[in-house]
Amino acid sequence: MTTLWDTTGSAVVKELAAQRRTGGAVLSGVALTLVVIADESRVIEAEEAATHAAEMHPCRVVIVVRRQIEAPVPRLDAEVQIGGRLGPGEAVVLRMYGRLALHAESVVLPLLAADAPVVAWWHDAAPARLATDALAVFANRRITDSSLTDDPQAALRIRAEDYVPGDTDLTWTRSTAWRATLASTVDSVAGRRGDAVRISGGRIEGDPHNATAQLLAGWISSRTGCPVEVVASARHAGPSGVDAVFLHLDEGEELRIAADRRGGAVISQPNRPDGTVALPDRSLGDLLSEELRRLDPDEPYSDALEAATGLAGLTERPAEREHVWVDPADDGDRAPTVPRDPGDEGAPSGEDGSSSDEAPPRVR
């Protein structure tokens, strides 16, 4: 591992190449570049998850930490790792200070693996409009996590308003185990009947403010066409926010799947004894791995998101985002103006410290 203090993007690229030469054949082919945007307090968590995911999907990991945006002098610190703590591949942790944070793409773009898909993951509260972060614009797939916000339900609505195909949210990933269990339970009813099953309604007991519970309800109603409500349960629901799911089937049958608090779920269905299946809470790394498995737009997610938020036409939106330049310094009373620093070579060109005449960077 090498740490570069107060450095430049090109020095990082050089160091990466140097380490690749001396490090031997560590890298074994790259499937994608994973760009992680994390707050300093969550870097360790994000590193762990990215490392786990990189072991499954060989990728280059670029972690971007934006710090002290009001710092007067822009600065870049970088940690370059090959085959070390951050998994078997290449990893770079970039800490950006001052207004450089607004131009993170200038450092990240040359670090992307050539012609491989780019996945951006915000392990943080993501911007309301992803287009305001240039890193979102060139990413082929964007992963947010609404559970990291104060009001996940509202965050989900923001994600729906901002949605373009290729977006996904980890609150959706957290519903996979529940969805798999529900689908296979309905399979077994269909198998027993030897005939199709119709679902005429459903109810989720859990935490109505939990985005995963809302998406699960949205998914069931998008698949069945009937409204599904999330009602508060007496017990505290786990990270998925779901305590139990009830499905009303035709022929007057009802299914009930309830979390057993021991990493499993009890399935109750007519004409069969109760059964238990594994329904573990998965680690962040597992969730991320699942996301990296497929990089095409996730239609079931957009359908569920539509149903959960009442917005329509998400899938039809164009898949491209144009970068929207937003300067945090423009907010309110033009707080700290950054003085010009002619001696600062670390800053990307075009950065002049003031915001008024700053041209929006063009990113494609």
Judged by the rule CB under 8 A, the positions of this chain that interact with another protein are: 25, 28-29, 52, 54-58, 88-89, 173, 176-177, 179-188, 190-192, 194-199, 220, 223-224, 262-264, 267, 271-273, 275-280, 290, 293-294, 299-300
For the CB of residue 286, give the shortest distance to another protein in the complex, in Å.
11
CA nearest to 220, candidates 196, 235, 201: 201
Least distance between another protein and beta carbon 189 (Å): 8
Nearer to another protein, 128 or 278 (CB): 278
Q: Which of residues 123 and 223 has its CB atom nearest to another protein in the complex?
A: 223
- Cβ proximity to another protein: between 278 and 312 the closer is 278
- The sign one gets for the Cα dihedral 248, 175, 144, 115 is negative
Q: Looking at beta carbons only, is 181 or 240 nearer to another protein?
A: 181
Least distance to another protein, CB of residue 272, Å: 4
Alpha-carbon gap, residue 231 to 217, rounded angstroms:
10
* CB-nearer residue toward another protein: 40 or 260: 260
**Beta carbon nearer to another protein, 31 or 326:** 31
Nearest residue (CB) to another protein, 77 versus 291: 291
C-beta of 60: minimal distance to another protein in Å? 12
Query: Closest approach of Cβ 90 to another protein, in Å?
Result: 13
Quote the least distance from Cβ 345 to another protein, whole Å: 34
Which among 27, 18, 39 has a CA at the least distance from the CA of 126? 39
Which token pair is 172?
């959706």
Parallel/antiparallel/unpaired status of strands 228-232 and 199-206: parallel
Q: Which is nearer to another protein, 81 or 132 (CB)?
A: 81
Contact criterion met (CB below 8 Å) for 159 and 305: yes
Minimum distance between the CB of residue 217 and another protein, rounded to whole angstroms? 13
Tell the smallest beta-carbon distance from residue 126 to another protein (Å).
21
Give the shortest CB-122-to-another protein separation in angstroms.
20
Identify which of residues 14 and 193 has a Cβ nearer to another protein in the complex. Answer: 193
Query: Is residue 209 within 8 Å of residue 231, measured between CB atoms?
Result: no
Q: CA–CA separation, 118 vs 115, rounded Å? A: 9
